[in-house]
Amino acid sequence: MSVDEPTVRKIARLARIGIADDDVAPLAGELSAILGWIEQLGEVDTAGVAPMTAVIPNHLAWRVDQVTDGDVQAKVLANAPDATSGFFAVPKVIE
């Protein structure tokens, strides 16, 4: 699979990673090489094979519905780049 430059830009936008214009072409080349190599997976006959869901057979345990956590506002905000009046502050969101 050859990844073109518009695709690189689209993927970068989806991943919210700003990329410099100069980096787009080299990245397109690298991703193309890696994805080209990955494509050999297509050779494998997987008809009737279920995708793996649990690496080691295990059963999902359920929690009892009790309040056991929270009420730790100071811890939640301790590392915030910008916290005001108990909120996280971010540049204005426009809907």
Partner 1 sequence: MTALTDLTIAGMKAGLAARDFSAVELTDAHLAAMEAARGLNAFIVETPDIARAQAAAADAALARGDARPLAGIPLGIKDLFCTEGVQTTAGSKILQGFIPQYESTVSGKLLADGAVMLGKLNMDEFAMGSSNETSAYGRVISPWKAGDSNRELVPGGSSGGSASAVAARIAAGATGTDTGGSIRQPAAFVGISGIKPTYGRCSRWGVVAFASSLDQAGPMARSVADCALMLTSMCGYDAKDSTSLNVPVPDFAAGLTGDMRGRRIGIPREYRLDGMDPTIIALWEQGIAWMKDAGAEIVEVSLPHTKYALPAYYIIAPAEASSNLARYDGVRYGLRVTPPGGNLADMYSATRAAGFGTEVKRRIMIGTYVLSAGFYDAYYTQAQKVRTLIARDFERAWEQCDLLLTPTAPSAAFAFGDKADPLEMYLNDVFTVPSSLAGLPAMSVPAGLSADGLPLGLQIIGRPLDEAGVLDAGLAIERAAGFTARPGR
Partner 2 sequence: MKPWTVKGATGDWEIVVGLEVHAQVTAQSKLFSGAATTFGAEPNSQVSLVDAAMPGMLPVLNGECVRQAVRTGLALGAQINKWSRFDRKNYFYADLPQGYQISQLYHPIVGEGELAIETEDGARTVVGIERIHLEQDAGKSVHDLHPTMSYVDLNRSGCALMEIVSKPDIRSPAEAGAYVAALRQLLRYVGSCDGNMDEGSMRADVNVSVRRAGEPFGTRTETKNVNSVRFIMQTVEVEAKRQVGVIEGGGSIVQETRLFDPGSGTTRSMRSKEDAHDYRYFPDPDLLPVEFDDAFVGDCLASLPELPVAKRARYESVLGLSPYLSAVLTAEKDTAAWFEALLAATGKPEAEIALRAANWVSSDLFGALKRLGLDITASPVSPAAGAELLALQADGTLSGPLAKQVFEIMLETGEAPAAIVEARGLKQVTDTGAIDAAIAAIIAANADKVAQYKGGKEALFGFFVGQTMKAMAGKANPAAVNERLKAALA
Residues that bind partner 1 (CB under 8 A): 3, 7-8, 11-19, 27, 30-31, 33-35, 37-44, 46, 49-52, 54-56, 58, 60-61, 63, 72, 75-76, 78-82, 88, 90-94
Cβ neighbors of 83 (< 8 A, separation 6 or more) are 77, 89
**Residue 26 phi/psi, 5° resolution?**
-60, -40
How many Cβ atoms sit within 10 Å of the Cβ of residue 9?
A: 15
Q: Least distance in Å: CB of 43 to partner 1?
A: 8
Tell the smallest beta-carbon distance from residue 83 to partner 2 (Å). Answer: 8
Place of tokens 């995708």: 51
Under the rule (CB under 8 A), what is the footprint of partner 2?
A: 10, 13-14, 16, 53-54, 58-73, 75-77, 82, 84-95
